């Protein structure tokens, strides 16, 4: 399947998130005012900020579809990773706000008793957002898209915020306002943890980090190709949700240029079978005689 078709699928997931946030935030804000629920109002305003995060993901996916140009020979796929990084910042801000709000409520000692209907609304919204999370997570896994996976994790954090709001509202009905604080703190910490995970993964990819186990699998595949005597150097990096590979192989020095070229073609063809490997650069060198090299060094 064309890589740009996968990105267009990711756009649909971002649009689903935006539509859900617009509808749910409007619903929560109106209900919060009608039922005098500060928790539901806070949750609604939280969803408004999440629209910005989803828009950042959508813009990143749009930019990543731009074809290669003179300044971006490998294309613009890393815009997906930048979008995920921006989403992690927004999630961290939301998580910190939730924690600060919970601590402020603890010291303020305000005990409100909102209408129980607001808890039902919060639970319904949590279920809807949970469905959006499952949809986006499945789509992100299908197309291996980091930006959409970040959006999915943001959906999950919002579902948890709604659950925390419902817990607080129900607790207030039974004279247990501290449940709201405990739930808010737990949700805030979880959101910050999710934001940190996305931030760490995004910065790892942007600084050309690559999983050593996956690199070992690539090495094993290349080393089994007939004609490859030794792998002198192997590097790989992630470009959006694609992999770029640079490898230096040693071959029999008695081979012709044409024979060496055929081995390179085989390496590229085998690598292209591996999912998400977009580009392979192969450099060929004649195999060195190790014993002769060691004797020369001793002299």
232 vs 186, higher pLDDT: 232
Decide if pLDDT at 135 tops 50: yes
How many angstroms separate the CA atoms of 257 and 267, rounded?
A: 15
- Considering the domain architecture, whether residues 144 and 48 belong to the same structural domain is answered as yes
Starting at the edge strand that comes first in sequence, how are the strands of the sheet with 277-286 ordered?
Answer: 230-239, 242-251, 277-286
46 vs 252, higher pLDDT: 252
pLDDT of res. 205: 87
* Enclosing domain of residue 73: 3-206
Last residue within a domain, chosen from 206, 240, 273: 206
How many angstroms separate the CA atoms of 290 and 250, rounded?
A: 12
- Considering the domain architecture, whether residues 150 and 224 belong to the same structural domain is answered as no
- Considering the domain architecture, whether residues 173 and 248 belong to the same structural domain is answered as no
Q: For residue 1, what pLDDT band results from cuts at 50, 70 and 90?
A: very low
Decide if pLDDT at 247 tops 80: yes
Secondary structure of 70-119 in HEC code, one letter for each residue = CCCCCCCCCHHHHHHHHHHHHHHHHHHHHHHHHHHHHHHCCCCCCCCHHH
- Considering the domain architecture, whether residues 194 and 264 belong to the same structural domain is answered as no
Residue partners of 198: CB distance under 8 A and separation at least 6 = 84, 85, 87, 88, 91, 150, 153
Last residue within a domain, chosen from 158, 182, 206: 206
- Considering the domain architecture, whether residues 233 and 105 belong to the same structural domain is answered as no
Residue partners of 141: CB distance under 8 A and separation at least 6 = 149
Convert the pLDDT of each residue in 136-174 to its tens digit.
Answer: 999 888 887 878 888 888 888 888 888 888 887 788 778
Decide if pLDDT at 275 tops 80: no
- Considering the domain architecture, whether residues 11 and 145 belong to the same structural domain is answered as yes
- Considering the domain architecture, whether residues 117 and 78 belong to the same structural domain is answered as yes
Element (H, E) at 227: none
How many angstroms separate the CA atoms of 286 and 253, rounded?
A: 4
Cα–Cα nearest to 68, from 14, 12, 3, 9: 3
Last residue within a domain, chosen from 160, 188, 206: 206
Q: How many helices (H) and strands (E) does the chain have?
A: 9, 3
Task: Say which CATH number the domain at 98 has.
Answer: 1.20.1510.10
Task: Say which CATH number the domain at 275 has.
Answer: 3.30.70.1350
Convert the pLDDT of each residue in 169-210 to its tens digit.
Answer: 788 778 776 776 777 777 778 788 888 988 998 899 888 888
pTM over cut 0.85: no
- Considering the domain architecture, whether residues 223 and 117 belong to the same structural domain is answered as no
Domain count, the chain: 2
């Amino acid at each position: 399947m064309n890589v740009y078709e996968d990105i267009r699928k990711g756009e649909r997931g971002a649009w689903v998130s935006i539509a859900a946030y617009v509808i749910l935030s409007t619903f929560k804000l109106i209900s919060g005012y009608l039922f005098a629920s500060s928790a539901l109002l806070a949750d609604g305003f939280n969803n408004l900020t999440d629209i910005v995060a989803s828009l950042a993901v959508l813009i990143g996916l749009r930019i990543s579809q731009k074809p290669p140009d003179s300044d971006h020979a490998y294309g613009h796929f890393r815009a997906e990773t930048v979008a995920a990084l921006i989403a992690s910042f927004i999630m961290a801000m939301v998580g910190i706000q939730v924690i600060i709000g919970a601590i402020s409520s603890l010291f303020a000692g305000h005990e409100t008793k909102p209408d129980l209907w607001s808890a039902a609304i919060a639970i319904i919204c949590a279920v809807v957002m949970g469905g959006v999370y499952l949809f986006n997570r499945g789509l992100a896994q299908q197309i291996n898209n980091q930006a959409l996976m970040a959006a999915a994790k943001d959906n999950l954090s919002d579902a948890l915020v709604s659950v925390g709001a419902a817990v607080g509202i129900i607790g207030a009905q039974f004279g247990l306002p501290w449940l709201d604080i405990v739930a808010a703190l737990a949700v805030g910490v979880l959101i910050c943890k999710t934001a940190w995970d996305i931030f760490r993964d995004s910065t790892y990819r942007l600084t050309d980090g690559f999983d050593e186990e996956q690199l070992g699998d690539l090495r094993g595949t290349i080393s089994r190709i007939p004609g490859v005597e030794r792998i002198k150097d192997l590097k790989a990096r992630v470009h959006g949700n694609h992999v770029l590979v640079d490898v230096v192989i040693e071959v029999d020095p008695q081979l012709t240029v044409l024979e060496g070229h055929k081995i390179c073609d085989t390496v590229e063809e085998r690598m292209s079978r591996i999912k998400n490997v977009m580009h392979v650069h192969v450099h060929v060198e004649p195999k060195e005689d190790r014993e002769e090299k060691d004797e020369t060094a001793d002299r």
